[in-house]
Structure 1
Amino acid sequence: MNCFVGVDVGTTNVKALAMPPDLSQILAHASAPLTTLNPESGYAEQDPNEIWSAFVQVISEVSREVAQGGHVITHVAFCTAMHSLLPMDVNGDPLGNAILWSDNRAEAQADELRTTQADLGKAIHEETGTPIHPMIPLCKLAWMREHDPRLLRRTAHFGSIKEFLWQRLTGEFDIDFSIATATGLFNESKRHWSKRAMDYAGVRVDQLSTPVPTTYQRIYQPRPITAATGLPAGISLLIGASDGCLANLGAGAIKRGTATLTIGTSGAIRQTVRKPLRDPQGRLFCYFLDEGYYAVGGPTNNGGNVLEWVSEKLTQQDTKTVLDEAATIAPGSDGLLFLPYLQGERAPLWDASVRGAYLQVDWQHTRAHFIRAALEGVLFNLLSINELLKEYTGSARVIHANGGFAQSTLWVQMLADMAGVPVRLNASNESGSMGAILLTMKAVGIVKTLDEATERVAFGETFEPDLDRHKVYRTEFKKWQDALTRL
């Protein structure tokens, strides 16, 4: 039996999933962790050699398992996190660590494009669809222009983690339109690099990869450095798209009125639209998925990392204990509010310097209150992004939830109660890998459209909102918004 492999390179893990073209079963699955480095305050980096090793580990495990089952890999497609920046030499070898989306060192450059050079910032946002923030490679390159001009000059190629992996596998520097639209350097409508953005960043077009469609394919020919992957010669490598776009696709959420809410380390809420959309205030992103499909929404820096902070720093308890404690407290945490900005914030504030806070702390509040309020604060923040989103897309009638938080029935039910709409889970929580496989199905002609592809997505449990709890949360959400406005 032939099969497709979807590879999902996230912030905390590299994962791979193998399925037959009819999506009837999971033939193989593997995962390997990644380490984020924080060499200075506000910095977030990863070692590209560790990423490559993790990729080799998971793809070789999947290759062996597929072969042992008598199956044959025909296509491998890629889903990767956005906004990373890696300097490479002419051979694609790293000249340093990859700078991640969560890195805030370019805060001053982002502020410049929002204040003293606001006209330029607005023009770049209109052209690229990328909000101005330290996360984007545009600002990271501008930081490098000011603080490490020698590295900027001697780097042969700047690329993302995906481009690094792709070059290792193919020997070519290509970038898909989806990852490109998240750089702040790509003219989305004309499908080429933006001169005004490159001029500001101080980078040349020959230092950037060749933009290609998300369905672009190259035939794999093993090289000495790739032999350990176990991939056979002659299979097709499909470049794929970004994690946000493919999470929408893999969740089966591309129809109007359907939102996808993802919480992994960070989080996002998105809808799929059929033509590019711009928020004049630059509060929402709009990223390319495929011709006629764009993911619009807002990302938050503060998702599962808040639960990690509560577990490791605040309570020093394991995650299960923490979630069990939260379940003992009524919705609304008896008035305790939490602003979850532990690592600055992207949407809705776009302020890397903002920090979190507990508000309205009372004598009655226990550790369990603090835990539940933290979980509620993460969702309140995402729903505040949704308030911006629905100005353009209309209200969501259903939310498809994925990411690590989807494994917690407490947290997912909390979302349904807050939003007041059903929340659906997928049969598989690997929405990024699944999205890459669905994109492959369209690329090879098994389906004609992505709409047709999502009809094959299998769903798991649906969480219905409790109307009484929804009333409580509507009141508390208003208090949370008022508190944020005051602060």
Structure 2
Amino acid sequence: MRAVLGIDVGTTAVKAMLVGSDGSVLSESEVEHPVSVPRPGWSEQHPEMWWSSTVQAVRKVLHTTDAGNWRGKIAAIGLSGQMHSSVFLDIDGEVIRPALLWNDVRTSAQCYQILEGAGLDLLRSTVGNLPLEGFTAPKLLWLRDNEPENYDRLHTLLLPKDYIRYRMSGEFATEPSDAAGTLLYDVRRRVWSEPVLRALNLDADILPNVVESSETSGVLTAEAAATLGLNPGIPIVGGGADNAAGAVGCGATDASIMQVSIGTSGAVVTPATEPHVAPEMNLHTFCHAAPGLWYLMGVVLSAGSALRWLRDSVATGQSYDVLTAKAENVPVGSDGLIFLPYLTGERTPHNDANARGVFFGLNFSHGVGHITRAVVEGVCFALRDSLELMRLQGVSPSEVRAIGGGARSGMWLQTLSNIFGLPISTVQPSGGAAYGAALLAAVGCGMFADIEEAVKSCIKTEGAVEPDAGQRAAYEEFYGAYRRLYPALKEEFAFLADLTMRQE
């Protein structure tokens, strides 16, 4: 049996997964890394840290699967990674400065520049998305506006997984699903958008070549192979952005299956056979990793990361298991405590970088269990916002599949099912984006004829979590209360953001 290697360059960790030609997971590993927050609203990581985490994760996978047996049987490598985050390289391929991440919201002024320079009509007809702080193009303009000496050195712009590709192969390349998140890529034609680049006065030469997600982009160099503990010459396929690869990894490759991801961020993803752009562009339209497919996506910027913040900053010393056990003893609605999970602003549906986290209704009767349950409920309410927008676009999935860390928690799944009012399934293997990247590699090296065959051969759904009728009814009322809070606070969020900036 041959094997493929899937690697997911996430915000909090790099995950590596060795997958057999029958789709079985032979081994997996995870190496965590931190996020730097130099100022409120800023979020950075040094790309060299991703490479270090990748090296450790790959070596760990090989060590736990008997390297002598599998090193020579790896037929291809697939890559996935966090979207939008910007890697700036000079002419020598050296990193110019730490990467600005997808949840960095310093670029509001640059978003207005893009709106004025390109205009809504051009954006709607080409890139299919509004300019938001997390996207790549505003980060590029921020570099030009605020660090001109660094911008003058810029030779190549890459995304996180594509930096790992460069370190592995020496090639500058990306693929459609990640390119679509830059705001510089024509999602309909699946090419870099020359009209948008001209409107923003950007040089197309800094952009990498685009290959299909299962197409070979290069091979592992001898130097990288020695560092990783692999054999040289292994093909590296295009791979996919984390949500696109995650969709492949859970079998969401047709319009009947909705994917809900609960990781650092949260996402609701629905595949589409054409690039449908919502009239108000309040949902993202991106290219799928599967050829000829696109997907609609709503994003919650702080999902699992909100619970992580609670664990690390409020309930210190308590594990996730302890926190969720306490939360399970709290009634639906957390005894009147509602959480807005806008810890780094919010995308869907508000597109508001000024929005901030809120606990509403806090009183002396509330303990850690109430706060934990409110965080989980608040994230699920935020995901429900994306579901409702998709319903307005005619989306009616026959199945909802959950992936990410939240999909491994019974409490997360039951709460999500109750708030969505839909059954929620999980899949096996449950590798998410790393598994999807491995399947793309398997297609690329000929183990499967295409992505559809790979998905049908390898992915099985598990029993669905069904909504509880009584809890669902209660959540409808609390969701209504949740929906009223943002409009009431929108102007206050803007006032507070201005006040904070002036104080700094």
TM-score normalised according to structure 2 size: 0.91
SS at match of 1:19: strand
2:480 corresponds to which of 468, 473, 478: 478
How far off is 1:479 after superposition? Answer: 2.0
- Report if the CA contact (8 A) 1:142-1:202 is conserved: no
* 1:173-225 superposed Cα distances (whole Å, 9 cap, x missing partner): 11111111110011223333223432454431111111221122045252435
* 1:271-309 superposed Cα distances (whole Å, 9 cap, x missing partner): 111111101212111221232221211111110111122
1:32-111 equivalent positions in 2, closer than 5 A: 32-64=31-63, 65=65, 67-69=67-69, 72-111=73-112
| Structure 1 residues 344 and 122: CA distance shift in structure 2, 3 A | farther
SS at match of 2:119: helix
Q: Which moved more, 1:195-204 or 1:415-424?
A: 195-204
SS at match of 2:3: strand
Q: Which residue of 2 aligns with 1:277?
A: 276
SS at match of 1:389: helix
Q: Which residue of 2 aligns with 1:19?
A: 19
Kindly, what percent of the aligned residue pairs are identical?
Answer: 28
How far off is 1:363 after superposition? Answer: 5.5
SS at match of 1:270: strand
In structure 2, runs of 5+ residues without a counterpart are 490-504
Q: Which residue of 1 aligns with 2:321?
A: 320
**Distance in 2 separating the partners of 1:198 and 1:5:** 35
Structure 1 runs, 4 residues or longer, greater than 6 Å off: none
Q: Which residue of 1 aligns with 2:494?
A: none
1:303-452 equivalent positions in 2, closer than 5 A: 303-316=303-316, 317-362=318-363, 364-452=365-453
How far off is 1:78 after superposition? Answer: 0.7
Q: Which amino acid aligns with 2:460?
A: A
SS at match of 1:103: coil
**Distance in 2 separating the partners of 1:189 and 1:295:** 12
Q: Which amino acid aligns with 1:77?
A: G
Corresponding pairs, count: 484
SS at match of 2:25: coil
SS at match of 2:14: strand
**Distance in 2 separating the partners of 1:166 and 1:13:** 17
SS at match of 1:59: helix
Q: Which residue of 2 aligns with 1:295?
A: 295
In structure 1, runs of 5+ residues without a counterpart are none
Q: Which amino acid aligns with 2:464?
A: T
- Report if the CA contact (8 A) 2:25-2:429 is conserved: no
**Distance in 2 separating the partners of 1:404 and 1:383:** 18
**Distance in 2 separating the partners of 1:34 and 1:130:** 30
Q: Which residue of 1 aligns with 2:264?
A: 265
**Distance in 2 separating the partners of 1:408 and 1:438:** 25
Q: Which amino acid aligns with 1:313?
A: S
* 1:314-352 superposed Cα distances (whole Å, 9 cap, x missing partner): 333332222111111111222322211111111111111
How far off is 1:417 after superposition? Answer: 1.4
SS at match of 1:18: strand
Q: Which residue of 2 aligns with 1:463?
A: 465
**Distance in 2 separating the partners of 1:53 and 1:312:** 24
**Distance in 2 separating the partners of 1:427 and 1:93:** 39
1:137-148 equivalent positions in 2, closer than 5 A: 137-148=136-147
SS at match of 2:433: helix
**Distance in 2 separating the partners of 1:279 and 1:479:** 26
**Distance in 2 separating the partners of 1:378 and 1:218:** 37
- Report if the CA contact (8 A) 1:259-1:271 is conserved: yes
Q: Which amino acid aligns with 1:205?
A: A
How far off is 1:247 after superposition? Answer: 0.8
CA RMSD of aligned residues (A): 2.1
Q: Which moved more, 1:54-63 or 1:100-109?
A: 54-63
| Structure 1 residues 122 and 378: CA distance shift in structure 2, 3 A | farther
- Report if the CA contact (8 A) 2:169-2:224 is conserved: no
How far off is 1:151 after superposition? Answer: 1.4
**Distance in 1 separating the partners of 2:167 and 2:190:** 24
- Report if the CA contact (8 A) 2:222-2:231 is conserved: no
SS at match of 1:4: strand
**Distance in 2 separating the partners of 1:155 and 1:418:** 46
**Distance in 2 separating the partners of 1:123 and 1:241:** 26
**Distance in 2 separating the partners of 1:249 and 1:367:** 37
How far off is 1:398 after superposition? Answer: 2.5
Q: Which residue of 1 aligns with 2:221?
A: 222
- Report if the CA contact (8 A) 1:113-1:121 is conserved: no
**Distance in 1 separating the partners of 2:36 and 2:200:** 24
**Distance in 1 separating the partners of 2:57 and 2:117:** 44
* 1:244-288 superposed Cα distances (whole Å, 9 cap, x missing partner): 011111111223332111111111111111111101212111221
Q: Which moved more, 1:31-40 or 1:437-446?
A: 437-446
Q: Which moved more, 1:203-212 or 1:440-449?
A: 440-449
How far off is 1:83 after superposition? Answer: 0.2
* 1:132-154 superposed Cα distances (whole Å, 9 cap, x missing partner): 21111111111112111221122
How far off is 1:452 after superposition? Answer: 3.0
| Structure 1 residues 310 and 63: CA distance shift in structure 2, 3 A | closer
| Structure 1 residues 205 and 113: CA distance shift in structure 2, 3 A | closer
Does residue 238 in structure 1 map to residue 240 in structure 2? no
- Report if the CA contact (8 A) 1:130-1:183 is conserved: no
- Report if the CA contact (8 A) 1:130-1:181 is conserved: no
How far off is 1:410 after superposition? Answer: 1.0
| Structure 1 residues 393 and 212: CA distance shift in structure 2, 3 A | farther
SS at match of 2:138: helix
SS at match of 2:74: strand
* 1:41-98 superposed Cα distances (whole Å, 9 cap, x missing partner): 2211111111111111222333453533356101111111110111112232211111
**Distance in 2 separating the partners of 1:360 and 1:35:** 32
Q: Which residue of 2 aligns with 1:191?
A: 190
- Report if the CA contact (8 A) 1:168-1:225 is conserved: yes
Q: Which residue of 1 aligns with 2:253?
A: 254
- Report if the CA contact (8 A) 2:2-2:20 is conserved: yes
- Report if the CA contact (8 A) 1:132-1:282 is conserved: no
- Report if the CA contact (8 A) 1:18-1:66 is conserved: no
